[in-house]
Amino acid sequence: MKTRKATAARASSSASPSPSPSSSTLPLLSNMPRKSSLFKHTLIATVFFLLAIYAFFSTFFHSPLSPPDSSSPSFLDLDRISSQENPNDSPHKVKVFMYDLPHKFTFGIIQQHSLARGGSPVPDVTTLKYPGHQHMHEWFLFSDLSRPQSDRLGSPVIKVTDPEEADLFYVPVFSSLSLIVNAGRPPGSGSDYSDEEMQNQLVDWLKGQEYWKRNNGWDHVIIAGDPNALYRGVDHVKNAVLLVSDFGRLRPDQGSLVKDVIIPYSHRISAYTGDFGVKDRKTSLFFMGNRYRKEGGKIRDLLFQILENEDDVVIKHGTQSRENRRAASRGMHTSKFCLNPAGDTPSACRLFDSIVSLCVPVIVSDSIELPFEDIIDYKKFSVFVETTTALKPGYLVSLLRKVPEEQIIEYQKAMKEVRRYYDYTHPNGTVNEIWRQVSQKLPLIKYMINRDKRLVKRELSEPNCSCLCSNQTGMISSL
Ligand SMILES: *[C@@H]1O[C@H](CO)[C@@H](O)[C@H](O)[C@H]1NC(C)=O
Ligand SMILES: *[C@@H]1O[C@H](CO)[C@@H](O)[C@H](O)[C@H]1NC(C)=O
Ligand SMILES: *[C@@H]1O[C@H](CO)[C@@H](O)[C@H](O)[C@H]1NC(C)=O
């Protein structure tokens, strides 16, 4: 709170002085024409004289020190402006180069995932199918940049094959899949694959890359969708734009709303295709998921205790399985509101499932970060309830029972409008939106690159202006 107030105060005090100087310069300007015309003639003559001298010297004494094209000195990055003359170059689009990573960071991980589940090795790992799970976003982004540029003309970014042309470098590591290669296998029964080893090797590999070294990684984009993905390597790659689900596992110096991009989970249940309205939605509030979670997720068990005896509420314990997903899909399609409590970290896949189901999300997760919030106003289709309030017996159900049908329909319409932003398979859906968000980071990236070159490294006892802390903006939750 304090921080926000202080910032506001600073902003208004710096804004206030501006009106006075401009009002005092105006009279001066209007006096100008009344000055003697002799002065004007002298001025014009002087300018011509100087121009003539300049023309003479620059023709006969061309200095080798002056830049070859004086309109664009090499220390200014004006390429983007001058290339706007060729409309076919789509000069406004950011150019992305995708690394051709060694297979052990991409398809090799699919192979390992399959081996740990009794699969057999295949001669060509690139023929393997990426297994479906809630952090499949890494696969969708990789597939998108694997297509020839001619197939992706609607994309906000241009794929380039020459790293020299690139503004940004995408590192398509399957970091979330790597995390779950041995997940759920009892020790000894999985493979001897090590996610940590993969992360160490990736960091070593990146640090050996010419383009990584060039700008300390600032112009790189790395996907770590699962909140635990890359946990071991993130300190070494934190300069990069990280594509993350939330900041639950990142320290304020590792991740930030300013530098990074929040991406949605890939939803795993089918979209609701019926009409707006509540006719077929008899259940008031629905939740299905793991009742017992760590840390912020402890709230789930408390909500179960409060809600499980309400008659228009369906709240069920269930883990990820095909059968449970089908049941969850049915539940979300037949309920007015869907509960979204925090999981182990503030985000959870369920939010995106509820949106495509047109089931109004009820978000009980005070530190949640949401994707694409620059264009999406979540209050138009979600109900946010602060955790301590949500835990007051009777509060949640009576709040939701009071919401009129017309309001629910408004929420549903708003959800239908934004649905494509959560659809990784939509031709103008999540993938394009992520690239658009990434492109918007470019000015900041250039700023950090240039600034980094002259920074004096020293220990400070308190945060300085380079602190891009995520949680200074994320902590204040309001209703
Ligand atoms: C894709 O979506 C963006 C906004 O997210 C919009 O500006 C653009 O016009 C859309 N493009 C197409 C081809 O629909
Ligand atoms: C500024 O603060 C951050 C975080 O507190 C620290 O990591 C960084 O090194 C500091 N920068 C300088 C120039 O001291
Ligand atoms: C915010 O940052 C502070 C200090 O860096 C940390 O102690 C606190 O736990 C963070 N809060 C959240 C919700 O991440």
Which of 23-32, 83-92, 295-304, 363-372 ranks highest by mean pLDDT?
363-372
Q: Output the residue whose Cα is nearest ligand 2's atom 3.
A: 467
Q: Output the residue whose Cα is nearest ligand 1's atom 4.
A: 433
How does pLDDT run across 96-152, given as a tens digit for each residue? 999 999 999 999 999 999 999 999 999 999 999 999 888 999 999 999 999 999 999
pLDDT for the residue numbered 477: 33
pLDDT for the residue numbered 49: 57
Q: Output the residue whose Cα is nearest ligand 1's atom 11.
A: 428
Q: Output the residue whose Cα is nearest ligand 3's atom 14.
A: 471
Q: Is the pLDDT of residue 14 over 70?
A: no
Q: Is pLDDT larger for residue 93 or for residue 59?
A: 93
Q: Is the pLDDT of residue 10 over 80?
A: no
Ligand in closest contact with the CA of 472: 3
Q: Is pLDDT larger for residue 49 or for residue 289?
A: 289
Q: Is the pLDDT of residue 277 over 60?
A: yes
pLDDT for the residue numbered 418: 96
Q: How far separated are the first and last CA of the chain, in Å rounded? A: 15
Q: Which residues pair with 223 in a beta bridge?
A: 243
pLDDT for the residue numbered 5: 37
Q: Cβ distance 296 to 365 under 8 Å?
A: yes
Query: Where do we find the tokens 């899909």?
Result: 329
Q: How far is the CA of 471 from the centre of ligand 3 (A)?
A: 6
Q: Cβ distance 190 to 116 under 8 Å?
A: yes
Q: How far is the CA of 372 from the centre of ligand 1 (A)?
A: 14
pLDDT for the residue numbered 74: 57
Residue 161 backbone phi and psi in degrees, to 5? -105, -10
Mean pLDDT of 157-173: 97
How does pLDDT run across 435-460, given as a tens digit for each residue? 999 999 999 999 989 988 887 776 66
- DSSP 8-state code for residue 373: T
Q: Is pLDDT larger for residue 16 or for residue 188?
A: 188
pLDDT for the residue numbered 354: 95
Domain residues of the chain, as ranges?
Answer: 95-183+192-262, 283-423
- Give 90's pLDDT tier (boundaries 50, 70, 90): low
Write down the pTM of the prediction: 0.78
Residue of 256, 204, 196 lying closest to 229 (CA atoms): 196
Cβ < 6 Å from ligand 2: which residues?
A: 253, 455, 458, 460, 463-464, 466-467
Q: Is pLDDT larger for residue 256 or for residue 130?
A: 130
Q: Which of 18-27, 272-281, 296-305, 469-478 has the lowest mean pLDDT?
A: 18-27
Q: Is the pLDDT of residue 27 over 80?
A: no
pLDDT for the residue numbered 25: 35
Q: Which atom of ligand 3 is nearest to the CA of 366?
A: 13
**CATH code given to domain 283-423:** 3.40.50.2000
Give the span between the Cα atoms of 414 and 290, in whole angstroms. Answer: 28
Q: Ligand 3 pocket, 387 CB below 6 A?
A: no
Q: What mean pLDDT, rounded, does the chain reach?
A: 82
What is the distance, to the nearest Å, from the Cα of residue 41 to the centroid of all Cα atoms in its chain? 59
Q: Is the pLDDT of residue 70 over 50?
A: no
Q: Output the residue whose Cα is nearest ligand 3's atom 12.
A: 471
How does pLDDT run across 176-228, given as a tens digit for each residue? 999 999 987 777 777 889 999 999 999 999 999 999 999 999 999 999 999 99
Q: Is pLDDT larger for residue 351 or for residue 61?
A: 351
Q: How far is the CA of 12 from the centre of ligand 2 (A)?
A: 27
Mean pLDDT of 147-172: 96
Local structure of 158: helix, strand or coil: strand
